[in-house]
Amino acid sequence: MSKYLISANINGDEVDFACYADQTLMEVLRENLHMTGTKNGCGSGDCGACTVIMNGRPVNSCLVLGAELQGADIETIEGMSKGNELHPLQQKFLDHAALQCGICTPGFLNMAKSLLEKNPDPTETEVRFALAGNLCRCTGYDKIVRAVLDAAEEMRTTTS
């Protein structure tokens, strides 16, 4: 089987890679590029652990093919902090203890970031529905929802 040569923009950098037709974006990130911050929980789009932002929209990277990525903009967890400065969502996840084992955290952070870009002032219910495709088995979601609401408030204050 021959490979496709793809150029994509990942976290602001142009990245070239070769992938098979049936390789997913998750596999490309994890196996080809060793960007293992994107987590594999199910490989079937049911858990959200592999959520990344593709052309401004959150996607399950296990449901996107690598070969589709020519010219695409991809944001992964590795690009969320700026230098040593954590994104407000990352800060708030730490402040609110919104993670226990941490395996679902990168996916939640990307999904929450997408939500707040579209809706900077979500209600608790809107946060819960936006995050309903991301499974967490440790926290019962309480502290995650609080962290997202608190981050939203802080981001509104600093941008206004």
Partner 1 sequence: MNEIKDVSKSNYKWVGKRTRRPDGPDKVTGRAQYGDDLVLPGMLCGKILRSPHAHAKILSIDTSKAEALKGVKAIVTHKDIPDHALLEPPFGPVIADFYDITRNVLAREKVLYDGHAVAGVAATSDRIASAALKLIEVEYEVLSHVLDPFEAAQPDAPVLHEHQFTNGVTPAPEKPSNVFRVVSTERGDLEAGFANADIIVEREFSSEPVHQGYIEPQALIASASEDGAVELWTTTQGHFVIRGLCSRLLNIDMSKIRVTASEIGGGFGGKNNLYAEPLAICLSQKSGKPVRMVMSRSDVFRGTGPASGTYSRIRMGAKNDGTIVAAEAEIYNQAGAFKGSPVGRSLDSFFSSYAIENAKATAYDVCVNRPKVAAYRAPGAPMATLGAELTINEIAEKLNIDPIDLRLKNAVQDGGESLCGVKYGRIGLNEVLETVKSHPHYLAPLKANQGRGFALGYWMHGGGLSSVNANLLDDGTVSVATGNPDIGGSRSSMRVMAAEELGVELENVKPIVADTGSMGYSHLTAGSRTTFATGLAVINSVREIIEKLRALAAKKWEISVEDVTWEAGQAVTHRDGFESLTLKQLAGMATKMGGPIAGHSEINACGAGAAFSAQIVDVEVDPETGLSSVKRYTIIQDAGRAISPDYVEGQMQGGAVQGIGWALNEEYFYDDEGHLLNSGFLDYRMPVASDLPMIDTVIVEVPNPNHPYGVRGVGEPPLIPAPAAVANAVENAIGRKLGSLPLSPPKVLKAIETGMPRES
Which residues here bind partner 1, judged by CB under 8 A? 20, 30, 34-44, 46-47, 49, 76-78, 80-81, 86, 90, 93-97, 99-106, 109, 124-125, 127-129, 131-146
The partner residues of 53 in beta bridges, in order of sequence, read 58, 75
94: which 2 tokens?
């730490």
Q: Name which of 9 and 91 has its Cβ closer to partner 1.
A: 91
Q: Name which of 71 and 124 has its Cβ closer to partner 1.
A: 124
Taking the complex as a whole, the smallest distance from the CB of residue 148 to partner 1 amounts, in Å, to 10
Residue 113 CA to residue 120 CA, distance in Å, equals 10
Taking the complex as a whole, the smallest distance from the CB of residue 79 to partner 1 amounts, in Å, to 9
Q: Name which of 67 and 77 has its Cβ closer to partner 1.
A: 77
Q: Name which of 43 and 153 has its Cβ closer to partner 1.
A: 43
Measured in degrees and rounded to the nearest 5, phi and psi for residue 7 equal: -115, 125
Q: Which residues contact 9 (CB under 8 A, 6 or more apart)?
A: 15, 71, 72, 73, 74
Taking the complex as a whole, the smallest distance from the CB of residue 3 to partner 1 amounts, in Å, to 12
Burial of 61 (0-12, 13-18, 19+ CB in 10 A): buried
Taking the complex as a whole, the smallest distance from the CB of residue 71 to partner 1 amounts, in Å, to 24
Amino acid at position 25, single letter: L
Handedness of CA 120, 126, 127, 129 (dihedral sign): negative
Contact 76, 58 (CB under 8 A): no
Taking the complex as a whole, the smallest distance from the CB of residue 115 to partner 1 amounts, in Å, to 11
Q: Name which of 71 and 94 has its Cβ closer to partner 1.
A: 94
